Structure 1
Amino acid sequence: MAIRLPSDSPLPPWRLTAEILGIIFLKLVFIVIIVTVLNFPAFLAIGMLEVNGTQKASHCGRCPEDWLSYSNNCYYISGDKKNWTESQMACVSKKSNLIYIDNEEEMKFMNFLPSSSWIGLSRESRNYPWFWINGSPSNQNITEASGPAYNCGMLFSFGLQSASCGAAKVYICKLEISSLNT
């Protein structure tokens, strides 16, 4: 004979526990989605980041503290915001430059870096070609923002975009590991 609870009795303890756990689970899923969508840079500092199955990015002894190592380079993601020129000067003070692309592998790596960050890409004006900070011409696809003075490049939603050089943004410095040994 089964015991039936009246309809006005409180929820059984297991059901209340299940509902609380369900709410906690949904909140955790929401947090994971927000962190992923915002391309939150903190995940880079938590250990290893697998980029293409064989290469890894992490902090290691070859790079200065607070820098990430990937392939033969070290990368610094700033915590402060500066305009493009100030960002380049900050990188130079760290004996580096704003990040520039050497190859397709490095372009894929940039997809894991924080969006809306200054990179070492600029041009004289709208009708001039784009050049990397190391002097090489860019062959990357750059989304043009709708401003006549948008002559500096930034990472933007898994790609590159023009931006106003005077805007304050975080920046990414690049240091070749071979230059550490000289």
Structure 2
Amino acid sequence: MAALTKQSVQPGPSTDLQEGSGCYSCQEKWIGYQCNCYFISDDLKTWKDSWDFCVSHNSSLLQIQTRNELDFMKFSTSFYWIGISYGEEHDAWLWENKSTLSQDLFPFPKPVNPKNCMMYSPRGSILDGHCGKKFRYICKQQLI
């Protein structure tokens, strides 16, 4: 893994993050935006393989904090695996860190099969799909 170094201020998403903000540069091929680093895949993987890739790069499948978190991707028409799955013990959809999904973050599809995994479109919609199917994915690494 590449060493993290401070970089100069850059407008919009880039591999460089704001100096003095406590943010550091991202790994090669990752996008820096609002003190987070994102890996937007071009290759297709199952949900589990996507999860494994993110973990192996010291990150996790995307956990969305705000509606406009991925504004820099708003023109994408693809769906991406994200880090949310059904927690039977809680009878709820949970992020990887076990926090619950905010119902007002984006419209949740109904009905949803709890055996499925979730995909997200940067245009603001979410969709469930068979976890064994291959889709693109987004990893997120929080730097602060």
Give TM-score, length-normalised by structure 2: 0.71
1:152 and 2:133 correspond: no
Q: CA deviation at 1:110?
A: 5.9
| In 1, Cα distance between equivalents of 2:111 and 2:15 | 34
For structure 1, the residue ranges without an aligned partner over 5 or more in a row are 1-54
| Aligned mate of 2:55, from 92, 109, 122 | 92
1:137 and 2:103 correspond: no
1:101 and 2:64 correspond: yes
| C-alpha contact (below 8 Å) 1:145/1:162 kept by paired residues | no
1:175 and 2:138 correspond: no
| Aligned mate of 1:58, from 14, 24, 28 | 14
| In 2, Cα distance between equivalents of 1:151 and 1:77 | 21
Percentage of matched positions with identical amino acids: 34
Amino acid aligned to 2:15: H
Q: Whose radius of gyration is greater, 1 or 2? A: 1
The structure whose RCO (Cα within 8 Å, separation 6+) is larger is 2
| C-alpha contact (below 8 Å) 1:75/1:172 kept by paired residues | yes
Partner of 1:3: none
Matched residue of 1:91: which SS?
A: helix
Bigger helix fraction: 1
| Aligned mate of 2:46, from 76, 83, 101 | 83
| In 1, Cα distance between equivalents of 2:66 and 2:40 | 20
1:74 and 2:40 correspond: no
| C-alpha contact (below 8 Å) 1:83/1:169 kept by paired residues | yes
Give TM-score, length-normalised by structure 1: 0.58
The runs of at least 4 consecutive aligned structure 1 residues that moved more than 4 Å come to 107-110
| Aligned mate of 1:118, from 81, 85, 93 | 81
| In 2, Cα distance between equivalents of 1:109 and 1:71 | 11
Matched residue of 1:58: which SS?
A: coil
